[in-house]
Amino acid sequence: MSKKIVILLAFAVATVFSATAQNNGKITGKIIDARSGEPVEYATVALLKPKDSSLANGSVSTTNGTFAVEVPAGTYLLKVSFMGYTPYMHHSQLSVKASKIVSLGTIKISQNSQMMEQVVVKAERSMVDYQLDKRVVNVDKNIVAGGGTATDVLENVPSVAIDNDGNVTLRGSTNVKVLINDRPYELLGSDLETLLEQIPASSIENVEVVTNPSAKYDPEGMSGIINLKLKENTVGAKGLNGVVNLNFGSPLPKFVPTSMATINLNYNTGKWGFFLSADAGVRSHAHNAVTYLERFSGGEKKSSDSLFEDGVHSNYMGSVKVGGEYHFDEKTTLALSYQLRGGNRVRKNSIDDVDLFRNNFLDYTQTDTNSNKNHNHAINLNFIRKFDKKDQMLTADVTFNIRGRHGDGVQEQTYDNAEANLKNYYLRNSGVENSNRNINMKLDYVHPINDKLRLETGYEGRVMKTNQDYEYYLSTYDSITGVLNKVFDERSSTHFDYGQDIHAIYATLGWKVTEKFSALAGLRGEYSTIYGEDKNHTDIEPVKKEYRQLYPTLHMSYTINENQSLQLSYSRRVRRPHMWDLHPYLDVREGQQLSFGNPYLDPEFTNSVELSYNLGINKLNIFTSAYFRQTNNMMTRYGFVWNETSAARYSPWMPYNSEYNDYWASTWQNLNKGLNYGLEFIVDYQIARWWKMNLSINLYENMIEGTELLDNQDKNAFRASGKFSSFMTLPKDWTIQLSGQYRAPFMDLQTDMLASYWADLAVKKDIMQKRATISLRVGDVFCTGGFGHTTENEQMYRVMRSKRLSPSVTIGFSYKINNGLKQGRREISEDDSDEGSAEY
């Protein structure tokens, strides 16, 4: 159990006893950051007895840094401590008299820049904290995400972006691993886009961006790891505490409601702690798109179409999480939690096709309605055991998930040309049944060898079993007889059993070489298996793969002085094929499209090197990072026009069928090599006491080495992207934030994504003596946000432009129950690596 939790529990007990005493004295003061002058919230204030340094009483600082501690008359020592700061000890003993107040005025505490792994090396406490192997973005500093979901939070994180299809990118790369509380998102809900829209922004404590992870982390994710740390896993100060949030909004001018209600409660008795969190709401957005499409085969144009699309996507969501923890003693803690998360994702699209070629395609109107209901049961057991030796600790974590999804979809297509020898069709997908059972196990042991060496080792295992059942029915409607002829579509239906097992052991050795130079070396060994079988199509060969890999990592840090530091890191990463990437099932759709997996697809591996420099001068902090990534055996989606020649060249594992000639087909391929290198700048500046600014810029180059698929021609592009955030604290408890971002064009093998840019505005005011908050958020204030891509090659020319309805307006209300949620077990259990921390 964390030392800070022990302190807080001891404070609560001491408070109960002292409340019965009469004529106590009181010590008051205010704690601020020595460099920025900003108040420090939740700092620990301890009053100690001079004789044996035992704890007499204590408290934590409020939002404005003030504190007040009651004690019986006597003499005491005062100590202040806070995560990432050097502990402060008052220079003399304090004499407290009955019924008197001793005011200490302002106490300044300084940040500690020499902690090995958890230390913050930034100059000023702000929205972003910079650590040895990661950056931590504090969500409560970002009010433009208020009333939104995890999607809105990530859109405001430096280096991170989300496109209109829900794909998360880090430094311009989609090959990123997303974790929720250190666990892979695949274990915790539905697909990533749905899950991110189901997590309220108010439930997120911070976001960790790990661009070059150590061997302790799963190596999945070529560009790094994004870890969302949630609040609801915490049990805080003694008594009942909590927060209630209500938000309602819609994009304009069309009314598409988006609302969210959340409640987070915790209750702590000292020995026991309990928590409850629940949320419910709907996340909706509307869009329209225009696509111009030409297809070629053998140098001849086969079709020319313009498609006009309107769509409304809604995600109805809700979750309940309950749990608690028991403190056997001050060193041993056991926690158990259960969460039920569910949702219904409804998509309605309407497409008008205007056939400009009047040959192969005919004018039609297509309407798609899809509903996917999902539920996920998650049980988590966490055990922490601390030892007498400082920082020696054993942790065990097991999560078991049972997930199900039922889908129901209808696609109707009406041809406008009465002379066509084609009938209107009705395609119904009424049998999507997915069931997943996953277990994630993690065991970690930290052993300080001496004051300069620290060993951490552990095991991580993940076992996933998936059953995917898709049933499609192709029907024709006879307008004369009114009869709907429904026929099972065997070619488009599949029943796929899939499994993936990953077992890993890892070790890292931290060495404090000198007072200024530290190193962390690690090695991770993994054994993984993948297997899958299509029960409906016996002619498809089962997928069987087995891998054994080593992943070395190295992190070095050098503190030049109290204002400057350098970090150099290396890691080997992997991107494994997913289930549908491998499954060679032929998915046939109207509009003459084919897609299928590649059972011979292999993982891609990346060697990543990063050099970072951090400079903090007064109220200015500049973080600069130069990075280089080389990806071997690169995986990419590749499309082509289906015919006998192209099928043999690009997909020799698929039987050729002339029925699909001139269809557009797509599958996965392994290329030779990809390169990505760039320079990133993040600037935090305290312009004035009431005004902060954060600016991030990423300049990078992408290159794909020429292969036979590209006729041995290289493809490369230089890109630039950036984000900014202006945060102003105004008189009478008003806060205003303006943020904006420019997303650079993105390149893959065949498609160039267009750049996009937009700005968001949020205003917040504390009311009811800061127990409640009202807020107003306007997304895409200037209505500039959009999305599009262009594809041009010898087989296809396609231009697509899409735009969501904007601006979006959201009104929010938040209320704190007994001062809101306090610091929790998970957050502070990772602290206390500071050599100056006191033991209690």
DSSP secondary structure string, 397-457?
EEEEEEEEEEEEEEEEEEES-TTSS---EEEEEEEEEEEEEEEEEEEEEEEE-SSSEEEEE
A 10 A CB-CB count for 228 gives: 24
Taking the C-alpha atoms of residue 523 and residue 456, their distance in angstroms, rounded to an integer, is 11
Q: In terms of pLDDT, which residue wins out, 484 or 73? A: 73
The DSSP code for 35 is T
Taking the C-alpha atoms of residue 209 and residue 215, their distance in angstroms, rounded to an integer, is 16
| Mean pLDDT for the chain overall | 79
For 730-775, the pLDDT digits (tens) are: 888 898 989 888 887 776 777 777 888 889 998 988 888 778 889 8
Assigned token pair, 345: 């994702």
Instruction: Give the residue-averaged pLDDT of 535-558.
Output: 88
Predicted local confidence at residue 359, as pLDDT: 47
Taking the C-alpha atoms of residue 475 and residue 425, their distance in angstroms, rounded to an integer, is 6
Assigned token pair, 734: 């008003």
Q: In terms of pLDDT, which residue wins out, 36 or 670? A: 670
What contacts 501, CB < 8 A, 6 or more positions away?
461, 462, 463, 464, 528, 529
Predicted local confidence at residue 332, as pLDDT: 92
For 433-460, the pLDDT digits (tens) are: 677 888 999 999 999 999 899 999 999 9
For 114-129, the pLDDT digits (tens) are: 433 433 333 334 567 7
In the chain, the percentage of residues whose pLDDT exceeds 70 is: 79
For 560-605, the pLDDT digits (tens) are: 987 888 999 999 999 888 888 888 888 776 557 788 989 889 999 9
Instruction: Give the residue-averaged pLDDT of 711-718.
Output: 74
Residue 523 has pLDDT above 60, yes or no: yes
Residue 260 has pLDDT above 90, yes or no: no
For 338-349, the pLDDT digits (tens) are: 989 888 877 776
Shortest CA distance to 398 belongs to which of 160, 187, 230, 232?
A: 187
For 144-191, give the DSSP string: GGTTSBHHHHHHTSTTEEE-TT--EEETTBS-EEEEETTEEGGGSSSS
CB-based contact 177:218 (threshold 8 Å): yes
Predicted local confidence at residue 756, as pLDDT: 84
For 261-303, the pLDDT digits (tens) are: 888 888 888 788 888 889 898 888 787 888 888 877 777 877 7
Distance between start and end Cα atoms, the chain: 12
What contacts 450, CB < 8 A, 6 or more positions away?
none
3-state secondary structure of 4: helix
Show the DSSP H helices in 199-342 as ranges.
none
Taking the C-alpha atoms of residue 4 and residue 439, their distance in angstroms, rounded to an integer, is 31
Predicted local confidence at residue 120, as pLDDT: 36
What contacts 540, CB < 8 A, 6 or more positions away?
534, 584, 585
The DSSP code for 482 is T
CB-based contact 61:19 (threshold 8 Å): no
How many residues comprise the chain?
840
Predicted local confidence at residue 480, as pLDDT: 65
What contacts 421, CB < 8 A, 6 or more positions away?
none
Shortest CA distance to 213 belongs to which of 168, 258, 182, 244?
A: 182
133 phi, psi to nearest 5 deg:
-120, 15
The residue with tokens 């069987």 is 544
The residue with tokens 């997943």 is 436
Residue 356 has pLDDT above 90, yes or no: no
Residue 351 has pLDDT above 80, yes or no: no
Shortest CA distance to 316 belongs to which of 276, 348, 277, 345?
A: 345
H/E stretch holding 198? helix 192-198
For 197-232, the pLDDT digits (tens) are: 777 777 788 888 888 888 988 888 767 888 888 765
Taking the C-alpha atoms of residue 335 and residue 329, their distance in angstroms, rounded to an integer, is 13
Taking the C-alpha atoms of residue 833 and residue 607, their distance in angstroms, rounded to an integer, is 30
Predicted local confidence at residue 112, as pLDDT: 63
Q: What angle do CA 111, 115, 118 make, to 5 degrees?
A: 95
Instruction: Give the residue-averaged pLDDT of 62-70.
Output: 83
What contacts 107, CB < 8 A, 6 or more positions away?
29, 30, 31, 32, 80, 88, 90
Lowest-pLDDT range of 302-311, 604-613, 633-642? 302-311
Taking the C-alpha atoms of residue 598 and residue 709, their distance in angstroms, rounded to an integer, is 15
Burial zone of 300 (CB within 10 Å; 0-12 exposed, 13-18 middle, 19+ buried): exposed
Lowest-pLDDT range of 223-232, 527-536, 652-661? 223-232
Lowest-pLDDT range of 44-58, 459-473, 637-651? 44-58
Specify the pairing of strand 135-138 against strand 160-162.
Answer: unpaired
Residue 693 has pLDDT above 80, yes or no: yes
Instruction: Give the residue-averaged pLDDT of 324-329.
Output: 89
- Helices (H), strands (E): how many in the chain? 6, 47
Residue 233 has pLDDT above 50, yes or no: no
Q: How confident is the model at residue 710 (pLDDT cuts 50, 70, 90)?
A: low
In the chain, the percentage of residues whose pLDDT exceeds 90 is: 17
Predicted local confidence at residue 507, as pLDDT: 97
Taking the C-alpha atoms of residue 741 and residue 759, their distance in angstroms, rounded to an integer, is 7
Q: How confident is the model at residue 680 (pLDDT cuts 50, 70, 90)?
A: very high
CB-based contact 757:772 (threshold 8 Å): no
Taking the C-alpha atoms of residue 433 and residue 409, their distance in angstroms, rounded to an integer, is 12
For 486-498, the pLDDT digits (tens) are: 777 776 778 888 8
The DSSP code for 193 is H
Residue 688 has pLDDT above 60, yes or no: yes
Specify the pairing of strand 796-804 against strand 787-792.
Answer: antiparallel
For 89-146, give the DSSP string: E-SS-EEE-TT-EEEEEEEEE-B----SSS----SS-SSEEE-SS-EEEEGGG-GGGT
